[in-house]
């Protein structure tokens, strides 16, 4: 073999070996090691947690108080033209004074598209007197039906001579008696002729509550009433809430009664 050919072969051999070494080094560069740590993996961004609704608010139905936007009904106070004007309504008379033989209170709330509206003052009263302290509270009237409101707190007073001597743990009336005295229609699609939409109804139940829990009825006791709201019987410290949609409140409140029954 000539010397020139030997040099060429050696050159090719050296070139091939160098290429193999370079290729091997390139492969080893991707392997982790003391001088070649693995790439840092970025952690995925956590999804934000939904904000908690929190504990329900407590509405205090103070004597003479106001809960909700006032004057939303027509008329803004008292009964409508279809309601009580002194003559008996559903056999319920309008009397100059109320007996304390049977005396209980319920709380009736109204939400229209998630906004709370106040009940009118003087529902179930004929020719009411002036509203005075505490707050805006009416004490006098020409006559009172046995179901009436003294203020705009949502408290409805139920008072009756009750010759049958029904105890305060029992019930004498339903929600329909209140609506008939007031002169409004309530069903699955309306609360009065002013608020129209799908109606949901919640109630704390057909049980006597009296002054339990310091007069506070927790929102956790409220369940949806799927029947005719007019048939709901009225018990002491019962909470009844009407909601007119399509928007509804995200959370219902606890209700603190100011009354002893």
Q: Is residue 103 part of a domain?
A: yes
The pLDDT tens digits for 135-187 are 999 999 999 999 999 999 999 999 998 888 888 889 999 999 999 999 999 99
Q: Answer yes or no: is 216 within a domain.
A: yes
Range of the domain at 227: 58-257
Compute the mean pLDDT over every residue in the chain, rounded to the nearest whole number: 84
Mean pLDDT of the 38-62 span: 64
> pLDDT tens digit string along 55-95?
899 999 999 999 999 999 999 999 999 999 999 999 999 99
Specify the pLDDT at position 18. 41
For residues 42 and 206, the model is more confident at: 206
Residue 31 belongs to some domain of the structure: no
Instruction: Report whether pLDDT(24) > 80.
Output: no
- The better pLDDT of the pair 242, 210 is held by 242
- pLDDT of 3 > 90? The answer is no
Q: Considering the domain boundaries, does residue 51 fall inside one?
A: no
pLDDT of residue 89: 98
pLDDT at 25: 37
Quick check: 241 pLDDT over 70? yes
Domain count, the chain: 1
Q: What was the pLDDT predicted at 53? A: 57
Higher pLDDT, 50 or 131: 131
Rounded to an integer, the average pLDDT of 238-242 is: 97
In a domain, 13, yes or no: no
- The answer to the question of residue 39 being in a domain is no
Specify if 62 maps to a domain: yes
Q: How confident is the model at residue 16 (pLDDT cuts 50, 70, 90)?
A: very low
Residue 11, domain member (yes or no):
no
Q: What is the structure's pLDDT at 7? A: 35
In SS3 terms, the chain reads as CCHHHHHHHHHHHHHHHHHHHHHHHHHHCCCCECCECCCCCCCCCCCCCCCCCCCCCEEEECCCCECCECCCCCCCCCCCCCCCCCCCECCECEECCCCCCEEEEEEEEEEECCEEECCCCCCCEEEECCEECCCCEECCEEEEECEECCCECCEEEEEECCCCCCCCCCCCCEHHHHHHHHCCCEECCEECCCEECCEEEEECCCCCCCCHHHHEECHHHCEECCCCHHHCECCCCEEEEEEECCCCCCCCCEEEECCCC
């Amino acid at each position: 073999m000539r010397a020139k050919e030997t040099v060429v072969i050696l050159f090719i051999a050296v070139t091939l070996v160098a290429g193999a070494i370079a290729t091997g080094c390139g492969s080893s560069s991707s392997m982790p090691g003391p001088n070649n740590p693995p790439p840092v993996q970025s952690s995925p961004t956590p999804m934000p947690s939904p904000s908690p609704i929190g504990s329900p608010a407590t509405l205090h139905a103070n004597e003479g108080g106001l809960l909700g936007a006032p004057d939303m009904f027509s008329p803004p106070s008292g009964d409508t033209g279809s309601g009580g004007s002194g003559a008996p309504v559903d056999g319920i008379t309008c009397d100059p004074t109320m007996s304390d033989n049977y005396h209980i209170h319920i709380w009736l709330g109204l939400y229209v598209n998630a906004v709370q509206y106040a009940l009118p003052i003087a529902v179930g009263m004929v020719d009411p007197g002036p509203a005075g302290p505490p707050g805006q509270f009416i004490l006098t009237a020409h006559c009172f039906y046995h179901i009436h409101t003294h203020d705009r707190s949502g408290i409805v007073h139920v008072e009756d001579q009750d010759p049958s001597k029904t105890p305060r743990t029992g019930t004498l009336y339903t929600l329909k008696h209140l609506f008939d005295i007031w002169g409004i229609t309530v069903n699955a699609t309306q609360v009065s002729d002013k608020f129209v939409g799908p109606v949901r109804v919640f109630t704390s139940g057909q049980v006597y509550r009296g002054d339990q829990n310091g007069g506070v009825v927790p929102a956790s006791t409220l369940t949806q009433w799927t029947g005719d709201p007019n048939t709901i019987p009225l018990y002491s410290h019962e909470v009844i809430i009407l909601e007119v949609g399509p928007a509804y409140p995200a959370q219902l409140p606890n209700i603190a009664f100011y009354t002893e029954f």
